[in-house]
Amino acid sequence: MKEYKTQAIAPKTQPFRKEAFEKMYIIIIRWLGNSGLFMNSRGTCVMIDPVLIGFDMPMLIDMPISPDNVPYLDSILITHCDNDHFSRETCKALNAVCDTYHTTKYVAELMTEEQIYGGCGHDIYGTFQINHIHVQLTPADHAWQNELENQNRVFKFEDFCGFYISTPDGSIWVVGDSRLLDEHLKMPVPDAILFDFSDQSWHIGLDNAIKLANTYPDTNLILSHWGSVDAPDMDAFNGDPKSLVGRVVNPERIRVLAPGESFELRRI
């Protein structure tokens, strides 16, 4: 008999609605489940890798907001083409209320094919502005597709990225899905990291996640890529916050947020 693996499940979803998009004088970030993030910085509202509808696997959580409750977005940022990050249905549903989409050049091409308007493709280390927010693409190593047979495309290093997001009130680094790179250990110290700790060969791996966390010993760790997708046999979705206990310096900075729960980002 096949052994069934148990999964750590995120805390119960805390839904949010239009009020979360109002102008404020702080930064509020909300985990959207899996690798999604919502940020309101002084009224500039951005989502990163939102998967609000249309995912093709069973979920362990409820989404904290539906596209029809999103009043506007200044931008959506997409790290790469995997459908648990680039949700075509979500991006299409939000196209009427979103001004721009920022991503890699390859994913911008996919957006054009999908008739998702406003896609801007960038090089790794390229920068752009969203009002007062400064964003730089950071490198990611995640071309797992090249290990598959009968691929009609060779995926390139520059098809995958993270985002280092800087505001007047604080910074957050969305590393993206990636093996650990030397560059990741030499970043300007962020105030928070959207922290993937998946113990999987095309992700950072648990030991390297600990190494990354302890390179920035005061940075808030907002746990992601865990507790959301009902896939007990897929290591990429099966991080467990308990695996970090006793291994992360200053463990009080580990943020086990519920989907939709608000977290005020401040400078460390």
CA dihedral 111, 117, 118, 119 (to 10 degrees): 0
The CA distance from 167 to 135, in Å, is: 9
What contacts 148, CB < 8 A, 6 or more positions away? none
Output the tens digit of pLDDT for each of the chain's 268 residues: 334 468 999 999 999 999 999 999 999 999 999 999 999 999 999 999 999 999 999 999 999 999 999 999 999 999 999 999 999 999 999 999 998 999 999 999 999 999 999 999 999 999 999 999 999 999 999 999 999 988 889 999 999 999 999 999 999 999 999 999 999 999 999 999 999 999 999 999 999 999 999 999 999 999 999 999 999 999 999 999 999 999 999 999 999 999 999 999 999 9
- Given this model, what pLDDT does residue 6 score? 82
Question: Cβ(39)–Cβ(171) under 8 Å?
Answer: no
Residues 161, 193, 10: CA angle, nearest 5 degrees: 105
Both tokens assigned to 181: 């790179």
Query: DSSP letter at 23?
Result: -
Question: Cβ(263)–Cβ(170) under 8 Å?
Answer: no
What CATH number has the domain spanning 18-146+155-265?
A: 3.60.15.10
The one-letter code for the residue type at 133 is I
The CA distance from 139 to 127, in Å, is: 13
Largest CA distance in the chain: 56
pTM over 0.85: yes
